[in-house]
Amino acid sequence: MQDIFLPSAAMRTRYDICDVTLWRWVRAPRMNFPKPIYANSRHRLWKLADLEAWEASRDRKPTKEVRGWPQARQLSGGDA
């Protein structure tokens, strides 16, 4: 089974936030927000399963659905 990863643009759409808010969420320990995986030195990707688990733990839904996000990437477990 392949994991699905979302880039930061999809994250901003999913949660209706700006890049600075995303940056703050990643760095705020109290948010317990999933950490990104760096595809290279510039591109952050988040594992969809981790995001869904985080959402469930907060009992809140994302503001927008991005499952069909054109830039969502599927990587096998060893490619991250």
Domain that holds residue 7: 3-75
Domains in the chain: how many in total?
Answer: 1
Q: CB within 8 A of 69, min separation 6: which ones?
A: 6, 10, 13
Is 39 within the bounds of a domain?
yes
Is 20 within the bounds of a domain?
yes
In single-letter form, the type of residue at position 21 comes to T
The model's pTM: 0.70
Residue 39 has a pLDDT of 86
Q: How does DSSP classify residue 66?
A: -
Is 35 within the bounds of a domain?
yes
In single-letter form, the type of residue at position 70 comes to P
Is 28 within the bounds of a domain?
yes
35-73 pLDDT, tens digit per residue, is 999 988 788 999 999 999 999 888 655 555 555 554 555
Closest CA to 49 of 34, 59, 61: 34
6-33 pLDDT, tens digit per residue, is 999 999 999 999 999 999 999 999 889 9
Is 67 within the bounds of a domain?
yes
**Residue 1 reports pLDDT greater than 50:** yes
Is 80 within the bounds of a domain?
no
